[in-house]
């Protein structure tokens, strides 16, 4: 006779269901606590909890709250972000599995990842992204997205959860986000906080398939040069359109004694040309703007004032002074300045020098 009635549970003898030694319950609670409040059926059985007990305790209102197939939460509290990630890894069912993408960046403490997940939830896949070895057969379910990969990274740890290294997590997040304008601030925060070097990001991207990673590769290249906002993007696009040499973006300029001169939107070191977008002065915080720029000019730097609208509407006219400066600079000495590029970018503050 089948031990289950129509609801699947009713005829199981109560005594046999709950006759679990207290020591086993304590061991299960301790293991779940170490995994942010979640535990798998396999782990419960290995501790000595009968499968029939697991089934009955997983009933609505029971001691085990089902989070994912074969994964339960012990206790009444809702799982934390780390608990959800741990549950996803238990569901994945392979010890080499790691959390990646926006979920991993959240665990690393990247606030921009949270903002993207909340603002663009209807436009991008914000499910918790888990990488598993290619041989593992497991389907995505509920809030978990499972990806089988032959490029499985060695696990790092964030908030006690196995996660992909920062570089891989960022690249995987970028593969789900096609809008480079959304990606730039994400890349900028990761680089500016020193969570990973731009060179490491580039190396990681080079090992990944090109398909789906074009936007994140471009964002890494641009942010490494300081292209972090729309105004600087307009300057970059205009320079490229006119086929002129790219400057370094958003550098801080110091005199040869190391004293602060100004922070400008762009600086071309070989020719000593600085760009200042006059409609975006506040963003670069040029203290006492006219006086600062006069100090800069006295060092021999040619300061080109232009607006974002001019760069977008008439790039040829707006960059005429830059084109002329490139020719005229061949006969004048190079200004002796030091340039501090944006933190985390190519030639960051740690490697600042005379340019």
Task: Give residue-wise pLDDT tens across range 149-179.
Answer: 999 999 999 999 999 999 999 999 999 898 8
Dist. CA 58–CA 45, nearest whole Å: 14
Sequence spans of domains, the chain: 14-77, 83-224, 230-346
Distance of CA 243 to the CA centre of its chain: 32
Question: Which CATH architecture does the domain made up of 14-77 adopt?
Answer: Orthogonal Bundle (1.10)
Q: Which of 142-151, 155-164, 203-212 has the lowest mean pLDDT?
A: 203-212
Q: Tell me if 14-77 shares its fold with 230-346.
A: no
Query: Does residue 83 carry a pLDDT above 90?
Result: yes
- Write down the residue that tokens 């300061």 correspond to: 303
Task: Give residue-wise pLDDT tens across range 217-261.
Answer: 888 877 766 666 677 888 888 988 888 888 888 888 998 888 888
Beta carbons of 115 and 183 less than 8 angstroms apart: no
Beta carbons of 131 and 153 less than 8 angstroms apart: yes
Beta carbons of 99 and 129 less than 8 angstroms apart: yes
**Selecting from 3.40.960, 2.60.40, 1.10.10, 3.30.160, what CATH number does the domain 230-346 have?**
3.40.960
Query: Does residue 296 carry a pLDDT above 70?
Result: yes
pTM: 0.67
Dist. CA 323–CA 334, nearest whole Å: 17
- Beta-bridged to residue 130, according to DSSP, are 99, 146
DSSP structure string for 122-161: TTS--SEEEEEETT-----BTTEEEEEES-PPPPEEETTE
Up-side HSE of residue 127: CA atoms within 13 Å toward CB?
13
Residues 6+ apart with CB under 8 A from 65: 58, 72, 73, 74, 75, 76
Query: Does residue 349 carry a pLDDT above 70?
Result: no
- What average pLDDT does this structure show over 173-187? 88
């Amino acid at each position: 006779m089948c031990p289950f009635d129509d609801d699947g549970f009713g005829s199981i003898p109560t005594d046999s269901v709950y006759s679990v030694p207290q020591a086993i319950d304590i061991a299960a609670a301790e293991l779940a606590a170490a995994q942010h409040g979640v535990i798998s059926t396999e782990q419960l059985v290995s501790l000595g909890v009968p499968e029939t007990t697991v089934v009955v305790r997983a009933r609505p209102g029971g001691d085990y709250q089902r989070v994912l197939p074969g994964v339960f939460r012990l206790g009444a509290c809702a799982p934390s972000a780390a608990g959800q990630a741990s549950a996803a890894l238990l569901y994945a069912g392979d010890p080499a599995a790691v959390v990646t993408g926006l979920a991993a960046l959240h665990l690393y403490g990247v606030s921009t990842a949270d903002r993207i997940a909340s603002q663009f939830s209807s436009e991008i896949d914000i499910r918790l992204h888990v990488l598993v070895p290619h041989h593992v057969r497991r389907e995505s379910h509920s809030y978990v997205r499972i990806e089988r990969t032959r490029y499985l990274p060695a696990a790092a740890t964030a908030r006690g959860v196995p996660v992909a290294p920062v570089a891989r997590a960022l690249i995987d997040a970028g593969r789900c986000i096609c809008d480079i304008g959304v990606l730039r601030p994400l890349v900028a925060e990761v680089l500016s906080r020193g969570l990973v070097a731009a060179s490491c990001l580039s190396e990681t991207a080079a090992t990944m398939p090109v398909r789906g990673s074009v936007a994140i590769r471009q964002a890494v290249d641009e942010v490494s040069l300081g292209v972090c906002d729309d105004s600087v993007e307009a300057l970059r696009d205009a320079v490229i359109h006119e086929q002129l040499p790219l400057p370094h973006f958003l550098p801080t300029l110091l005199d040869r004694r190391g004293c602060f001169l100004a922070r400008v939107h762009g600086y071309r070191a070989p020719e000593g040309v600085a760009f200042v977008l006059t409609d975006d002065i506040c963003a670069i915080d040029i203290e006492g703007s006219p006086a600062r720029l006069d100090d800069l000019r006295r060092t021999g730097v040619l300061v080109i004032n232009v607006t974002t609208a001019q760069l977008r509407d008439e790039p040829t006219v707006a960059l005429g002074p830059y084109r002329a400066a490139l020719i005229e600079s061949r006969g004048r000495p190079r200004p002796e300045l030091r340039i501090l590029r944006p933190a985390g970018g190519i030639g960051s503050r740690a490697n600042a020098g005379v340019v």
